[in-house]
Amino acid sequence: MIYLDNSATTSPYKEVLDSFYKVSQGFFANPSSIHYLGGEVEQLLTKAKEQAASLLNVLPKELIFTSGGTESNNLAIKGIALQHQNRGKHIITTQIEHPSVLEACRSLEQFGFDVTYLSVDIEGKVSPEQVKAAIREDTILISIMHVNNEIGTIQPIEEIAAISQQYPKLFFHVDHVQGLGKVPLHLAHEGIDLCSMSSHKIHGLKGTGLLYIKRGTSLYPLVHGGGQQEEIRPGTENVSGIVAMVKALRLTFDNQKNKIDEISKLSRSIRECLAADSRIYINSPKTGAPHIINISVPGYKPEVVIHALGKKDIFISTKSACSSKHSDESAVLAACGLEQSRTMHGFRISLSFYNTEEEINQFCRTFLEVLDELSDVMGR
Protein backbone atom coordinates (compact mmCIF):
# COMPACT_ATOMS: atom_id res chain seq x y z
CA MET A 1 0.00 0.00 0.00
CA ILE A 2 1.37 3.38 -0.99
CA TYR A 3 -0.51 6.25 0.65
CA LEU A 4 0.17 9.58 -1.03
CA ASP A 5 -2.84 11.54 0.15
CA ASN A 6 -1.33 13.01 3.30
CA SER A 7 -2.83 16.42 2.69
CA ALA A 8 -6.29 14.91 3.09
CA THR A 9 -5.36 13.17 6.31
CA THR A 10 -2.48 11.23 7.82
CA SER A 11 -2.17 7.99 9.74
CA PRO A 12 -1.56 8.68 13.43
CA TYR A 13 1.85 8.06 14.99
CA LYS A 14 1.97 4.99 17.20
CA GLU A 15 2.97 7.21 20.13
CA VAL A 16 -0.12 9.32 19.50
CA LEU A 17 -2.32 6.26 19.83
CA ASP A 18 -0.49 5.31 23.03
CA SER A 19 -1.13 8.77 24.47
CA PHE A 20 -4.76 8.61 23.49
CA TYR A 21 -5.12 5.20 25.08
CA LYS A 22 -3.37 6.17 28.29
CA VAL A 23 -5.27 9.40 28.82
CA SER A 24 -8.62 7.81 27.95
CA GLN A 25 -8.05 5.14 30.55
CA GLY A 26 -6.33 7.04 33.32
CA PHE A 27 -7.59 10.61 33.03
CA PHE A 28 -11.23 10.42 32.19
CA ALA A 29 -12.64 13.02 34.58
CA ASN A 30 -14.06 16.33 33.43
CA PRO A 31 -11.29 18.95 33.74
CA SER A 32 -13.86 21.46 35.01
CA SER A 33 -14.77 19.24 37.95
CA ILE A 34 -13.30 20.67 41.13
CA HIS A 35 -12.62 17.32 42.78
CA TYR A 36 -9.24 15.62 42.83
CA LEU A 37 -9.83 13.57 39.69
CA GLY A 38 -10.93 16.65 37.78
CA GLY A 39 -7.93 18.54 39.12
CA GLU A 40 -5.56 15.87 37.82
CA VAL A 41 -7.07 16.14 34.36
CA GLU A 42 -6.97 19.92 34.47
CA GLN A 43 -3.28 19.74 35.28
CA LEU A 44 -2.72 17.41 32.38
CA LEU A 45 -4.53 19.83 30.11
CA THR A 46 -2.48 22.75 31.41
CA LYS A 47 0.71 20.80 30.83
CA ALA A 48 -0.35 19.91 27.31
CA LYS A 49 -1.08 23.52 26.53
CA GLU A 50 2.27 24.61 27.96
CA GLN A 51 4.07 22.03 25.84
CA ALA A 52 2.25 23.10 22.71
CA ALA A 53 3.05 26.73 23.48
CA SER A 54 6.71 26.00 23.99
CA LEU A 55 6.88 23.99 20.74
CA LEU A 56 5.20 26.81 18.85
CA ASN A 57 7.16 29.47 20.68
CA VAL A 58 4.10 31.32 21.94
CA LEU A 59 2.40 31.73 25.31
CA PRO A 60 0.04 29.07 26.70
CA LYS A 61 -2.74 31.62 27.07
CA GLU A 62 -2.45 32.35 23.35
CA LEU A 63 -3.68 28.87 22.43
CA ILE A 64 -7.23 27.55 22.20
CA PHE A 65 -8.03 23.93 21.43
CA THR A 66 -10.80 23.39 18.89
CA SER A 67 -12.40 20.45 17.11
CA GLY A 68 -10.16 20.92 14.07
CA GLY A 69 -8.92 23.17 11.31
CA THR A 70 -12.38 24.07 10.03
CA GLU A 71 -13.49 25.24 13.46
CA SER A 72 -10.24 27.15 13.99
CA ASN A 73 -10.71 28.99 10.69
CA ASN A 74 -14.37 29.72 11.41
CA LEU A 75 -13.63 30.90 14.94
CA ALA A 76 -10.82 33.17 13.79
CA ILE A 77 -12.69 34.77 10.91
CA LYS A 78 -16.18 35.08 12.36
CA GLY A 79 -14.80 35.75 15.82
CA ILE A 80 -12.82 38.78 14.64
CA ALA A 81 -15.55 39.96 12.28
CA LEU A 82 -18.30 39.88 14.89
CA GLN A 83 -16.19 41.33 17.67
CA HIS A 84 -14.75 44.22 15.69
CA GLN A 85 -17.48 45.01 13.17
CA ASN A 86 -17.96 48.48 14.58
CA ARG A 87 -14.48 49.30 13.29
CA GLY A 88 -15.35 48.24 9.78
CA LYS A 89 -16.78 45.39 7.76
CA HIS A 90 -14.16 44.73 5.12
CA ILE A 91 -12.22 41.47 4.92
CA ILE A 92 -9.38 40.53 2.59
CA THR A 93 -8.65 36.95 1.61
CA THR A 94 -7.60 35.09 -1.53
CA GLN A 95 -9.39 33.07 -4.16
CA ILE A 96 -7.46 29.90 -3.30
CA GLU A 97 -8.18 29.56 0.40
CA HIS A 98 -9.53 26.37 1.91
CA PRO A 99 -13.36 26.09 1.74
CA SER A 100 -13.56 26.63 5.51
CA VAL A 101 -12.11 30.12 5.02
CA LEU A 102 -14.01 30.92 1.82
CA GLU A 103 -17.35 29.71 3.16
CA ALA A 104 -16.85 31.47 6.49
CA CYS A 105 -16.26 34.68 4.53
CA ARG A 106 -19.28 34.06 2.33
CA SER A 107 -21.46 33.54 5.38
CA LEU A 108 -20.33 36.94 6.65
CA GLU A 109 -21.30 38.59 3.36
CA GLN A 110 -24.88 37.75 4.30
CA PHE A 111 -24.44 39.90 7.38
CA GLY A 112 -23.24 42.96 5.52
CA PHE A 113 -19.51 42.26 5.36
CA ASP A 114 -17.63 43.09 2.21
CA VAL A 115 -14.99 40.55 1.22
CA THR A 116 -12.17 41.05 -1.27
CA TYR A 117 -10.97 37.78 -2.77
CA LEU A 118 -7.49 38.51 -4.09
CA SER A 119 -6.49 36.86 -7.33
CA VAL A 120 -3.31 34.79 -7.54
CA ASP A 121 -0.67 34.42 -10.23
CA ILE A 122 -0.10 31.26 -12.27
CA GLU A 123 1.83 29.75 -9.37
CA GLY A 124 -0.96 30.48 -6.92
CA LYS A 125 0.80 33.36 -5.24
CA VAL A 126 -0.51 36.65 -3.94
CA SER A 127 1.92 39.53 -3.72
CA PRO A 128 2.34 41.68 -0.63
CA GLU A 129 1.74 44.70 -2.87
CA GLN A 130 -1.67 43.29 -3.87
CA VAL A 131 -2.57 42.88 -0.22
CA LYS A 132 -1.43 46.38 0.60
CA ALA A 133 -3.40 47.86 -2.27
CA ALA A 134 -6.56 46.12 -1.11
CA ILE A 135 -6.45 47.49 2.42
CA ARG A 136 -9.14 50.11 3.04
CA GLU A 137 -10.13 52.34 5.90
CA ASP A 138 -12.72 49.76 6.99
CA THR A 139 -10.59 46.62 6.61
CA ILE A 140 -10.55 44.63 9.85
CA LEU A 141 -9.19 41.26 8.80
CA ILE A 142 -6.78 39.68 6.34
CA SER A 143 -6.98 35.88 6.12
CA ILE A 144 -4.37 34.17 4.00
CA MET A 145 -3.19 30.58 4.11
CA HIS A 146 0.47 29.74 4.53
CA VAL A 147 0.61 26.67 2.29
CA ASN A 148 -2.08 25.94 -0.26
CA ASN A 149 -3.71 22.56 0.27
CA GLU A 150 -4.03 21.66 -3.40
CA ILE A 151 -0.86 22.93 -5.03
CA GLY A 152 1.48 23.67 -2.12
CA THR A 153 2.15 27.32 -2.96
CA ILE A 154 3.78 29.12 -0.06
CA GLN A 155 2.47 32.64 0.49
CA PRO A 156 4.76 35.47 1.64
CA ILE A 157 3.28 35.42 5.13
CA GLU A 158 5.98 37.38 6.92
CA GLU A 159 5.89 40.18 4.37
CA ILE A 160 2.12 40.37 4.62
CA ALA A 161 2.43 40.30 8.41
CA ALA A 162 4.81 43.23 8.23
CA ILE A 163 2.26 45.16 6.19
CA SER A 164 -0.59 44.24 8.48
CA GLN A 165 1.45 45.43 11.42
CA GLN A 166 1.41 48.94 10.02
CA TYR A 167 -2.36 49.02 10.40
CA PRO A 168 -3.21 48.78 14.09
CA LYS A 169 -6.94 48.30 13.39
CA LEU A 170 -6.31 45.27 11.26
CA PHE A 171 -6.00 41.61 12.25
CA PHE A 172 -4.06 39.04 10.25
CA HIS A 173 -5.13 35.39 10.31
CA VAL A 174 -3.02 32.59 8.83
CA ASP A 175 -4.45 29.19 7.95
CA HIS A 176 -1.42 27.04 8.72
CA VAL A 177 -3.15 23.67 8.48
CA GLN A 178 -1.09 22.41 5.53
CA GLY A 179 2.13 24.16 6.45
CA LEU A 180 2.43 22.92 10.02
CA GLY A 181 5.47 20.70 10.41
CA LYS A 182 6.49 21.11 6.79
CA VAL A 183 7.18 24.79 6.16
CA PRO A 184 8.46 26.92 9.06
CA LEU A 185 6.31 29.81 10.18
CA HIS A 186 7.40 32.39 12.70
CA LEU A 187 4.18 32.37 14.70
CA ALA A 188 5.39 34.90 17.23
CA HIS A 189 5.79 37.49 14.47
CA GLU A 190 4.10 40.59 15.80
CA GLY A 191 2.10 40.97 12.61
CA ILE A 192 0.39 37.57 12.93
CA ASP A 193 -2.67 37.76 15.16
CA LEU A 194 -4.32 34.40 14.59
CA CYS A 195 -3.23 31.05 13.21
CA SER A 196 -5.13 27.80 12.60
CA MET A 197 -3.68 24.31 12.94
CA SER A 198 -5.10 20.80 12.74
CA SER A 199 -4.03 17.58 14.39
CA HIS A 200 -4.97 14.96 11.81
CA LYS A 201 -2.75 16.52 9.16
CA ILE A 202 0.32 15.94 11.34
CA HIS A 203 -0.27 12.30 12.32
CA GLY A 204 -2.50 13.25 15.23
CA LEU A 205 -6.16 12.36 15.57
CA LYS A 206 -9.21 13.79 13.88
CA GLY A 207 -11.41 16.06 15.96
CA THR A 208 -8.69 18.25 17.44
CA GLY A 209 -7.19 21.51 16.28
CA LEU A 210 -5.56 24.63 17.61
CA LEU A 211 -6.14 28.30 17.20
CA TYR A 212 -3.34 30.70 18.11
CA ILE A 213 -4.74 34.04 19.26
CA LYS A 214 -2.10 36.63 19.96
CA ARG A 215 -2.34 38.03 23.48
CA GLY A 216 -4.57 41.08 23.62
CA THR A 217 -6.63 40.00 20.61
CA SER A 218 -10.31 39.70 21.47
CA LEU A 219 -12.74 37.67 19.45
CA TYR A 220 -16.36 36.63 19.68
CA PRO A 221 -17.00 32.93 20.38
CA LEU A 222 -18.75 30.69 17.85
CA VAL A 223 -20.43 28.68 20.59
CA HIS A 224 -21.56 29.60 24.08
CA GLY A 225 -21.74 27.54 27.23
CA GLY A 226 -19.85 26.48 30.30
CA GLY A 227 -17.00 28.97 30.21
CA GLN A 228 -14.20 26.57 29.29
CA GLN A 229 -11.09 27.96 27.54
CA GLU A 230 -11.64 31.57 28.61
CA GLU A 231 -15.19 31.38 27.19
CA ILE A 232 -13.73 31.59 23.71
CA ARG A 233 -14.42 27.92 23.10
CA PRO A 234 -16.78 26.38 25.68
CA GLY A 235 -17.54 22.68 25.81
CA THR A 236 -15.92 19.82 27.73
CA GLU A 237 -12.35 19.57 26.47
CA ASN A 238 -11.44 16.52 24.41
CA VAL A 239 -8.55 15.80 26.74
CA SER A 240 -7.19 12.64 25.14
CA GLY A 241 -7.42 14.20 21.70
CA ILE A 242 -5.60 17.28 22.96
CA VAL A 243 -2.78 15.34 24.62
CA ALA A 244 -2.49 13.25 21.47
CA MET A 245 -2.22 16.40 19.36
CA VAL A 246 0.57 17.82 21.45
CA LYS A 247 2.40 14.52 21.14
CA ALA A 248 1.93 14.64 17.36
CA LEU A 249 3.18 18.22 17.30
CA ARG A 250 6.37 17.30 19.13
CA LEU A 251 7.11 14.30 16.92
CA THR A 252 6.30 16.28 13.79
CA PHE A 253 8.67 19.07 14.71
CA ASP A 254 11.38 16.46 15.33
CA ASN A 255 10.66 15.04 11.90
CA GLN A 256 10.65 18.45 10.33
CA LYS A 257 14.10 19.06 11.69
CA ASN A 258 15.54 15.70 10.69
CA LYS A 259 13.58 14.47 7.72
CA ILE A 260 12.25 17.41 5.73
CA ASP A 261 15.14 17.08 3.26
CA GLU A 262 14.05 13.55 2.55
CA ILE A 263 10.59 14.77 1.60
CA SER A 264 12.15 17.40 -0.64
CA LYS A 265 14.22 14.71 -2.31
CA LEU A 266 11.17 12.52 -2.91
CA SER A 267 9.35 15.53 -4.22
CA ARG A 268 12.12 16.21 -6.73
CA SER A 269 12.06 12.58 -7.91
CA ILE A 270 8.35 12.76 -8.56
CA ARG A 271 8.71 16.00 -10.47
CA GLU A 272 11.57 14.72 -12.59
CA CYS A 273 9.88 11.48 -13.42
CA LEU A 274 6.49 12.97 -14.24
CA ALA A 275 7.77 16.08 -16.00
CA ALA A 276 9.57 13.85 -18.47
CA ASP A 277 6.23 12.58 -19.72
CA SER A 278 4.65 14.81 -22.33
CA ARG A 279 1.13 14.01 -21.16
CA ILE A 280 1.75 15.53 -17.75
CA TYR A 281 1.88 19.15 -16.60
CA ILE A 282 3.24 20.04 -13.18
CA ASN A 283 1.10 22.69 -11.52
CA SER A 284 2.90 23.09 -8.20
CA PRO A 285 5.55 25.80 -8.20
CA LYS A 286 9.13 24.69 -7.61
CA THR A 287 9.24 27.09 -4.69
CA GLY A 288 6.20 25.47 -3.07
CA ALA A 289 5.96 23.20 -0.04
CA PRO A 290 7.86 19.98 -0.61
CA HIS A 291 5.06 17.62 0.36
CA ILE A 292 2.46 18.64 -2.22
CA ILE A 293 2.82 18.00 -5.94
CA ASN A 294 -0.12 18.91 -8.12
CA ILE A 295 -0.21 17.78 -11.72
CA SER A 296 -2.63 17.80 -14.62
CA VAL A 297 -3.07 15.12 -17.23
CA PRO A 298 -5.35 16.60 -19.89
CA GLY A 299 -7.78 14.13 -21.38
CA TYR A 300 -7.72 11.75 -18.43
CA LYS A 301 -10.69 11.69 -16.10
CA PRO A 302 -9.27 12.03 -12.57
CA GLU A 303 -11.71 9.67 -10.89
CA VAL A 304 -10.95 6.89 -13.34
CA VAL A 305 -7.22 7.26 -12.85
CA ILE A 306 -7.62 7.36 -9.06
CA HIS A 307 -9.71 4.23 -9.23
CA ALA A 308 -7.19 2.40 -11.42
CA LEU A 309 -4.36 3.39 -9.06
CA GLY A 310 -6.42 2.29 -6.08
CA LYS A 311 -6.67 -1.17 -7.59
CA LYS A 312 -2.89 -1.24 -7.51
CA ASP A 313 -2.92 -0.12 -3.88
CA ILE A 314 -1.74 3.42 -4.56
CA PHE A 315 -3.69 6.32 -3.14
CA ILE A 316 -3.58 9.89 -4.38
CA SER A 317 -6.37 12.43 -4.75
CA THR A 318 -7.85 14.80 -7.28
CA LYS A 319 -8.33 18.01 -5.37
CA SER A 320 -9.18 18.81 -1.79
CA ALA A 321 -11.37 16.32 0.03
CA CYS A 322 -13.29 19.33 1.30
CA SER A 323 -14.02 20.85 -2.08
CA SER A 324 -17.33 20.67 -3.85
CA LYS A 325 -18.49 17.27 -5.00
CA HIS A 326 -20.50 18.76 -7.81
CA SER A 327 -17.71 19.82 -10.07
CA ASP A 328 -14.63 18.13 -11.46
CA GLU A 329 -12.94 21.46 -11.75
CA SER A 330 -10.34 22.54 -9.24
CA ALA A 331 -11.21 26.04 -8.10
CA VAL A 332 -7.59 26.54 -7.07
CA LEU A 333 -6.19 25.67 -10.50
CA ALA A 334 -8.86 27.82 -12.12
CA ALA A 335 -7.85 30.75 -9.91
CA CYS A 336 -4.27 30.26 -11.09
CA GLY A 337 -5.56 31.01 -14.56
CA LEU A 338 -5.01 27.56 -16.01
CA GLU A 339 -7.18 26.40 -18.87
CA GLN A 340 -9.93 23.81 -18.46
CA SER A 341 -7.84 21.00 -19.94
CA ARG A 342 -5.76 21.34 -16.80
CA THR A 343 -8.26 22.49 -14.18
CA MET A 344 -10.58 19.57 -14.93
CA HIS A 345 -7.81 16.99 -14.91
CA GLY A 346 -5.80 17.72 -11.80
CA PHE A 347 -4.21 15.27 -9.36
CA ARG A 348 -2.60 15.86 -6.00
CA ILE A 349 0.21 13.73 -4.64
CA SER A 350 0.95 14.55 -1.01
CA LEU A 351 3.79 13.10 1.03
CA SER A 352 4.50 12.32 4.65
CA PHE A 353 7.69 11.66 6.58
CA TYR A 354 7.00 7.97 6.12
CA ASN A 355 7.06 7.70 2.37
CA THR A 356 10.14 6.00 0.94
CA GLU A 357 12.11 6.24 -2.26
CA GLU A 358 10.92 2.80 -3.34
CA GLU A 359 7.33 3.87 -2.87
CA ILE A 360 7.88 6.96 -4.96
CA ASN A 361 9.61 5.02 -7.72
CA GLN A 362 6.85 2.49 -7.77
CA PHE A 363 4.24 5.24 -7.79
CA CYS A 364 5.83 6.98 -10.77
CA ARG A 365 6.16 3.76 -12.72
CA THR A 366 2.62 2.71 -11.96
CA PHE A 367 1.15 6.12 -12.66
CA LEU A 368 2.63 6.14 -16.16
CA GLU A 369 1.53 2.56 -16.72
CA VAL A 370 -2.00 3.43 -15.71
CA LEU A 371 -1.99 6.32 -18.16
CA ASP A 372 -0.83 3.91 -20.87
CA GLU A 373 -3.53 1.41 -20.00
CA LEU A 374 -6.20 4.07 -20.02
CA SER A 375 -4.94 5.86 -23.12
CA ASP A 376 -7.09 3.70 -25.37
CA VAL A 377 -10.22 4.82 -23.59
CA MET A 378 -9.49 8.41 -22.81
CA GLY A 379 -6.02 9.52 -23.81
CA ARG A 380 -5.59 11.81 -26.71
Partner 1 sequence: MKSIYLDHAATTPMHPEVIQAMIPVMEGTFGNPSSIHHFGRQARKLLDEARHLIANSIHAKEKEIVFTSGGTEADNAALIGIAKKNRHIGRHIITTEAEHHATLRTAEYLEKEGYDVTYLPVNESGRISIVDLQNSLRDDTILVSIMYVNNETGVIQPIEEIGAVLKEHQAYFHTDAVQAFGALPIDVDALGVDLLSASAHKIYGPKGIGFLYIRDNVQIEAIQHGGEQERKRRAGTENTAAVVGFQKAVDLVKKEGQIRNKEYRALKELFIQTLKKRNIDFEINGDEQFTVSSIVNISFPGTNVESLLTNFDLSGIAASSGSACTAGSIDPSHVLSAMYNREDERTKNSIRFSFGIANNEENVKESAEQVAQIVKRLTS
**Residues of this chain, 46-85, that bind partner 1 according to CB under 8 A:** 67-71, 73-74
Secondary structure letter of residue 150 according to DSSP:
T
225 near partner 1 (CB under 8 A): yes
288 near partner 1 (CB under 8 A): no
Axis-axis angle for helices 302-311, 357-375 (nearest 10): 120
- The CB-of-261 to partner 1 minimum distance in angstroms stands at 26
310 near partner 1 (CB under 8 A): yes
C-alpha count within 13 angstroms, C-beta hemisphere, residue 94? 34
CB nearer to partner 1: pick between 73 and 164 = 73
Residues contacting partner 1: total by CB under 8 A: 72
Residue 378, burial from CB neighbour count under 10 angstroms (0-12, 13-18, 19+): middle
30 near partner 1 (CB under 8 A): yes
Neighbours of 67 (CB within 10 A): 18
Helix (H) or strand (E) holding 146: none
273 is catalytic: no
Interface segment toward partner 1; rule CB under 8 A; list 126-134, 160-168, 221-229, 251-259: 221-229
- The CB-of-315 to partner 1 minimum distance in angstroms stands at 5
104 near partner 1 (CB under 8 A): yes
CB nearer to partner 1: pick between 184 and 226 = 226
Task: Give residues 235-274 in contact with partner 1 (rule: CB under 8 A).
Answer: 235-241
Angle at 249 between CA 248 and CA 254, to 5 degrees: 95
Catalytic residue among 105, 273, 322, 336: 322
Helix (H) or strand (E) holding 40: helix 36-56
Tell me the C-alpha to C-alpha distance, in Å, between residue 139 and each of 111, 155, 168, 172, 175: 15, 20, 11, 11, 19
- The CB-of-70 to partner 1 minimum distance in angstroms stands at 4
Buried b (16+ CB within 10 A) or exposed e, 178-198: bbbbbbebebebebbbbbbbb
368 near partner 1 (CB under 8 A): no
- The CB-of-29 to partner 1 minimum distance in angstroms stands at 6
Sheet containing 63-66, strands listed edge to edge, beginning at the edge strand earlier in sequence: 63-66, 209-213, 194-198, 171-175, 139-145, 90-94, 114-118
Question: Which residue from 91, 154, 210, 222 is in contact with partner 1, where contact means CB under 8 A?
Answer: 222
Question: Which residue from 278, 325, 377, 380 is in contact with partner 1, where contact means CB under 8 A?
Answer: 325
Interface segment toward partner 1; rule CB under 8 A; list 16-24, 115-123, 126-134, 161-169: 16-24
Question: Which residue from 15, 50, 103, 329 is in contact with partner 1, where contact means CB under 8 A?
Answer: 103
- The CB-of-13 to partner 1 minimum distance in angstroms stands at 10
Residue 82, burial from CB neighbour count under 10 angstroms (0-12, 13-18, 19+): middle
Task: Give residues 126-185 in contact with partner 1 (rule: CB under 8 A).
Answer: none
122 near partner 1 (CB under 8 A): no
Active site residues: 322
